[in-house]
Structure 1
Amino acid sequence: MMTTAEQTIPRYKGKRHRLDRPELLAPAGNLEKLKFAVHYGADAVYIGGQKYGLRSNAGNFSFEEMKEGVEFAKTYGSKVFVATNIYAHDEDIDGLEYYLQKLEEVGIAAIIAADPIIIETAQRVAPGLEVHLSTQQSTLNWQAVQFWKEEGLPRVVLGRETSFAEIAEIKSRVDIEIEAFIHGAMCSSFSGRCVLSNHFTDRDSNRGGCCQSCRWKYDLHVDEEQLYDEEADPFTMGSKDLCMIDYMPELIEVGVDSFKIEGRMKSLHYVATVVNAYRQAIDSYFEDPEGYVLKPEWVEEINKAANRPLNTGFFLDTPGAEDHIYEPEEKAAPYDFAGVVLEYDEASGVAVIQQRNHFKPGQEVEFVGPGGRFFKQTVGEITDSEGNSLDAARHPLQLIRIQTAQPVKPMDLMRKKISKK
């Protein structure tokens, strides 16, 4: 896991471009995650519909769910974007116009697209939708960005391989919004160019079917010869995850307009925790740019939700062998999501919690809320909704009651430390 003390890469020293407040853009794999992302501080969320997106296994949204998500986001002043970022084959085109018009009708603010036919169709039949260029286009230089601006696009999502210096060059030459991934999984291939999944499983990674071949375990052979001990652990070739919490001033000042968090397949706890940390960092910078200091608790929160070891991707240099994962590793995050607060009675100090993972009396837990609200406590007596005492909260989505050491609010999260056993 990353700590600020371990960050030895020199800070970006290039030209500063702006001090406007950037957008914090969060993933949402389903309606519940959308609501938590917005509640914990996202300015916008990106989701998938039931067609044309690259996460076919996510809990993708119906039009009715999209409409509900849009209305919820509006109450916070947030927006909803929809990923329509497949590379379409001929059979994918039927129904495209209707789909895009329905997105506009339910109030979606923008689509994220890579295929020119999807881009052109949206501009023609759904002019109320902004079109943002997907990272699947692997846009890495200012001339390519200029091309897409001339095609009428207001925003480009850069390829994950773009460096700070290249972003500075783009911002100095092209007046356009730039969106960049600042946290989450990194593809071992160039953005939008992987076909491992296609060859190994006949699941098209560019049409939403990626099987994450780079995360599989492999043996290494040359002809018939295995190159290491047969009893050794197989290796993977996945990259470490991106984390730029240590570089908020640089990201803001180089001119990134939208800070994008990866993870439509990630858990509710992951989305809320990561959004919460970056929200605090961004707000803290704008409260006092000159006196900004990275707080250790933000890094600690990020690490509690991390699935893999973390690094800074391509922002500061080209990743090397040390930035990839070649051997099986223990889960990075030492905490499990245990429950969600639904109600709190101030008179009694008792919270109604919806269980998400097993916990029991005597166990230490943490409560987390938006804006950095946080405390630890030991779980006391647990009762069910009828007041019966329980020896544990065992059942998924079970409603239980416990006394909390401090006041809590609806949508606060409760988590527990994972036993080393």
Structure 2
Amino acid sequence: MNKDKTVELLLPAGGLDTLICAVDYGADAVYIGGQRFGLRAKADNFSIEDMKKGVEYAHAHGAKVYLTVNIFAHNNDIHEIPEYFKEIKDVGLDAVLISDPGVFMLAKKYMPEMELHISTQANNTNYETFNFWYGMGAKRVVTARELSLAEIKEIRANIPDDLEIEAFMHGAMCISYSGRCLLSNYMAGRDANRGLCTHPCRWKYAVVEESRPGEYMPIEEDERGTYIFNSKDLCMIEHIPEMIEAGIYSFKIEGRMKTKLYVAAAARTYREAIDDYLESPELYKSKIEHYKEQISACTYRQFTTGFYFGKPDSDSQIYDSNTYVRNYIYLGVIEEVNDDGSVLLYQKNKFCIGDNVEIMDFRKGDIKAEVKSIRDEYGREQESAPHPSQKLYIKFNISADCLKKGMIIRMNSN
């Protein structure tokens, strides 16, 4: 186990900009996907050059980068993976995350010096499995999502001290066992176990009786609706002490396809909560409501503690909708702070002169500001910013001295 830190806060990044955001807002480590062989093919993902840039930025700020190569490989994948490993072995990655035993053996052959982690996708549910992977040379194993904290604590007591345990603490839950889903492949021809999940578990379903084609009868449970597979999101912000007590070293946030606003809010909130707890358990306890308010700035589907305190029940599902709760609107990220007091951003959602916004500081708190002026890249004044991705120069009613490149600008959706 890494003795330099008590726990590690591990954030997702779908692209280089999001990696930088995660590091800026407090991640100890970031996990990313390359353009092949990961489970989030629809994310932006990283070219080899972007990996190098991301690793350089993370290492300069004391953070690590892990690459996911966690598909379940078919024969045609096996032919291509050795060349991929040759390409990534000298990028400077801190570890590669793998599910498939065959891919693991190829990694040992073609990247003998690389630290290897075992993905949750490998269904790691007992201490003998952890010990098996340790014997094969793995440094870390990610628990299956179906484990309770009591089970994880028992695993910790029965594995070597230097084998690290990683577990999810926040994010979307999958309807299938450890993420092994066949629905997407069957219904859309896109294999979830090779990175192409279309999330059919979030769709609305009905029943058709065999002799009555075209007659759709809703699936209802207590008249609450028909989204029968749609789980709430995991949130363990109130249970950091229990996770540490269980022996979990790496606290993992789900979401390589999420926005920078999600990553920033999750990183900053969990960073604050973890640091507060390590400083003073009483301080942490006194700020629970604050953490809950801050984490709700992420998009989410209501919260659950998953399997950690026992088997989920009907309260862990959402039957009436598959939509996210969005309490904040992402306006953009500060690309530069100019001498005239303006900031540059590439606008993501509409805002207007006079709107009250929040600029997320990198560690604690938000900077409240009012939009005073908007100029386009040609210097023309605008009353509003309705066009996504427009290059804009914004002035606020505050001094620009407290603003820094990389800060997220958001607006309360209410």
Q: Structure 2 length normalisation: TM-score? A: 0.91
1:66 to partner: Cα distance: 0.6
Q: What's the counterpart of residue 241 of structure 2?
A: 249
User: Are residue 185 (structure 1) and residue 177 (structure 2) matched?
Assistant: no
Give a deviation string over 1:189-248, Cα, whole Å, max 9, x none: 111431111211221111111111101111134544755499x96534211110111111
Q: What's the counterpart of residue 174 of structure 1?
A: 159
Residues in 2 aligned to 1:146 and 1:229: alpha-carbon distance in whole angstroms: 43
Give a deviation string over 1:165-187, Cα, whole Å, max 9, x none: 00110111102200001110100
Aligned mate of 1:307, from 272, 276, 300: 300
The SS at the match of 2:46 is: coil
Q: CA RMSD in A?
A: 2.3
Cα pair 1:352 1:402 within 8 Å, conserved: no
Q: What's the counterpart of residue 122 of structure 1?
A: 107
Q: What's the counterpart of residue 374 of structure 2?
A: 382
Q: What's the counterpart of residue 82 of structure 1?
A: 67
Cα pair 2:344 2:391 within 8 Å, conserved: no
User: Are residue 365 (structure 1) and residue 357 (structure 2) matched?
Assistant: yes
The SS at the match of 2:165 is: strand
- Please show how residues 240-389 of structure 1 align to structure 2 within 5 Å: 240-289=232-281, 291-293=283-285, 294-328=287-321, 331-344=324-337, 349-389=341-381
Q: What's the counterpart of residue 192 of structure 2?
A: 205
What letter corresponds to residue 61 of structure 1 in structure 2?
F
Residues in 2 aligned to 1:36 and 1:385: alpha-carbon distance in whole angstroms: 24
What letter corresponds to residue 61 of structure 2 in structure 1?
Y
User: Are residue 58 (structure 1) and residue 53 (structure 2) matched?
Assistant: no
Give a deviation string over 1:41-92, Cα, whole Å, max 9, x none: 1111111111111111111211111111111111111111111001111111
Cα pair 1:393 1:400 within 8 Å, conserved: no
Q: What's the counterpart of residue 7 of structure 1?
A: none
Which stretch of the first structure deviates more once superposed, 374-383 or 86-95? 374-383
What letter corresponds to residue 378 of structure 1 in structure 2?
E
The SS at the match of 2:264 is: helix
Cα pair 1:137 1:192 within 8 Å, conserved: no
1:151 to partner: Cα distance: 1.6
Q: Judging changes above 3 Å, is the alpha-carbon distance between structure 1 residues 397 and 283 closer, same or farther for their aligned structure 2 residues?
A: farther
Q: What's the counterpart of residue 122 of structure 2?
A: 137
Q: What's the counterpart of residue 9 of structure 2?
A: 24
1:337 to partner: Cα distance: 0.3
What letter corresponds to residue 119 of structure 1 in structure 2?
F
Which stretch of the first structure deviates more once superposed, 121-130 or 179-188? 121-130
Give a deviation string over 1:138-184, Cα, whole Å, max 9, x none: 11111211121112111101111111100110111102200001110
Residues in 1 aligned to 2:113 and 2:202: alpha-carbon distance in whole angstroms: 39
Cα pair 2:20 2:57 within 8 Å, conserved: yes
1:30 to partner: Cα distance: 0.6
Segments of structure 2 that go 5 or more residues without pairing to the other structure are none
1:101 to partner: Cα distance: 2.3
Which stretch of the first structure deviates more once superposed, 334-343 or 42-51? 334-343
1:366 to partner: Cα distance: 1.1
Residues in 2 aligned to 1:229 and 1:242: alpha-carbon distance in whole angstroms: 25
User: Are residue 409 (structure 1) and residue 404 (structure 2) matched?
Assistant: yes
Segments of structure 1 that go 5 or more residues without pairing to the other structure are 1-17
Q: Judging changes above 3 Å, is the alpha-carbon distance between structure 1 residues 397 and 159 closer, same or farther for their aligned structure 2 residues?
A: farther
The SS at the match of 2:31 is: strand
User: Are residue 392 (structure 1) and residue 384 (structure 2) matched?
Assistant: yes
1:20 to partner: Cα distance: 5.2
What letter corresponds to residue 216 of structure 1 in structure 2?
W
1:250 to partner: Cα distance: 1.5
Q: When the two structures are aligned, how many residues end up with a matched partner? A: 401
What letter corresponds to residue 403 of structure 2 in structure 1?
V
Cα pair 1:385 1:401 within 8 Å, conserved: no
Residues in 2 aligned to 1:184 and 1:166: alpha-carbon distance in whole angstroms: 21
Cα pair 1:239 1:323 within 8 Å, conserved: yes
1:282 to partner: Cα distance: 1.1
Cα pair 1:25 1:258 within 8 Å, conserved: yes
Cα pair 1:22 1:257 within 8 Å, conserved: yes
The SS at the match of 2:329 is: strand
Give a deviation string over 1:90-130, Cα, whole Å, max 9, x none: 11111212211222111111111111111011112201211
Cα pair 1:197 1:210 within 8 Å, conserved: yes
Cα pair 2:276 2:283 within 8 Å, conserved: no
Residues in 2 aligned to 1:199 and 1:216: alpha-carbon distance in whole angstroms: 14
State, as a whole percentage, how many aligned pairs show the same letter. Answer: 42
Cα pair 1:178 1:256 within 8 Å, conserved: yes
Residues in 2 aligned to 1:338 and 1:411: alpha-carbon distance in whole angstroms: 13
